[in-house]
Amino acid sequence: MNLAITITKKEIKSYFNAPAAYIVLVIFLLLSGWFFASPLFINNQANLRTLFGIIPLLYLFFIPAITMGLLSREKNTGTMELLATLPIKDSQIIMGKFWASVSLIGVGLLLTLVHYITIMLLGTNVDFGAIFCGYIGLLFLGAVYSSIGIFASSITSNQVVSLIISFFIIFFFFIIKFFLFFVPDFMVGIFQFISIDYHFSNIARGVIDTRNIIYFVSLVVLFLKLAQTSLENRNWK
C-alpha cells in the first residue's frame, strides 16, 4: 500500500505543477458557486440542496478531464514501460492513481465549504447531518466517476479518446434515471438500482444506507479491477 501512496504523491504533485489543476478547481468553484448562489434567495432555504444537485452534473465534465491523462499519458510517453518494470504491482499503480484523483476531488469539495459558511451566517436551523451526508455522498460519487475515468484511461494511449469514453460511461449512469418512465414495470427496479442518482439522492437526503454504500464501493472495485486487467493485458500492443 505504501507504494500506492508514492504514486499518489507523484500524481498530486504533477496536478499542481501544471496549471490544469488550478483551472479545473477555479472553474469548478465558479460554476458551482453560481448555480448555488443565484436561486439561494428565491428558495429562501438554509441548505445546500441546490449545490448537491449541481455538483454531480459538474462531475460529469470535470472528472473525465482530471482522470484522462492518469494512465493514457504514461502509455503515450512510454513511461508506462518504466513504471511497469519497477518493482510495483499493477494494482498499486491503479490504486495510487485512484487516490490522486479522489484527493483532487476532495480539495474541490473542501473549497465548496465556503457555501456552507454562507448559509450558516444567513440562515437558522441548518441541518448539519444532511450536509455532512451530502458531502459523503459527493465523495463516493466522485470515487465512482474517478474509477470509471481511470478505466477509460487504461484502455487507450490517447487522452481525448479516454475523455470521451469516460464521459459516456459516466453519462450512462447519470442519465439512466430519466428513462425510468419508458421501461416496462418489471424492469423499473433494476434500472433504478443501476441509476447512480437514486443512490446518491438517498445519501444526500441524510440517509446512509449500507445498500447505497455497497453499490458505490462495488462500482469502484469493478472499474478499478477492469483497469487493472487492461493494464496487465499490455501484451498485444
Partner 1 sequence: MISLQNLTKDYGSVRAVDHINFEINEGEILGFLGPNGAGKTTTLRMITCFLSPTSGNIEVENMNIKDKQIEIKRLIGYLPEHNPLYIDMTVFDYLKFIADIREISNFSSRIKEVIKQCGLNGVVHKPINTLSKGYKQRVGFAQAILHDPKILILDEPTSGLDPNQIVEIRELIKELGKEKTLIISSHILQEVQAVCDRIVIINEGKIVADGSTEELQSAFQNKTKLILELIAPENKILEISDNIKEVSILSISPLDETTFKVEIEFDSTNDKRAEIFNFIKSKEWVLLEMRRENISLEAVFRNLTIEGGER
- The residues that touch partner 1, with contacts defined as CB under 8 A, are 2-3, 6-7, 10, 13-14, 17-18, 77-82, 84-89, 234-236
Smallest gap from Cβ 230 to partner 1, in A, equals 15
Report in angstroms how near the CB of residue 229 gets to partner 1 at its nearest.
14
Question: In terms of CB distance, is 10 or 49 closer to partner 1?
Answer: 10
Q: Which residues contact 115 (CB under 8 A, 6 or more apart)?
A: 32, 33, 36, 37, 48, 51
Q: From the CB of 73, what's the least distance to partner 1, in Å? A: 10
Work out how close the CB of 97 gets to partner 1 at its nearest, in angstroms, rounded to a whole number: 14
Q: Which is nearer to partner 1, 19 or 184 (CB)?
A: 19
Beta strand spans in the chain (E): none
Q: Which three cell numbers stand for residue 212?
A: 447505497
Closest CA to 216 of 197, 229, 231: 197
Question: Using CA atoms, how far apart are residues 196 and 202, in angstroms rounded to an integer?
Answer: 10
For residues 140 and 204, is the Cβ–Cβ distance under 8 A? no
- Compare residues 48 and 80 and give the one whose CB is closer to partner 1: 80
Q: Which of 34, 174, 22 is nearest to 107 (CA)?
A: 22
Distances (CA, A) of 114 to 22, 33, 144, 194: 17, 9, 25, 32
Nearer to partner 1, 7 or 165 (CB): 7
As measured in angstroms, the least distance from the Cβ of 85 to partner 1 is 4
Query: Would you state the cell numbers that stand for residue 17, as one nine-digit string?
Result: 505543477
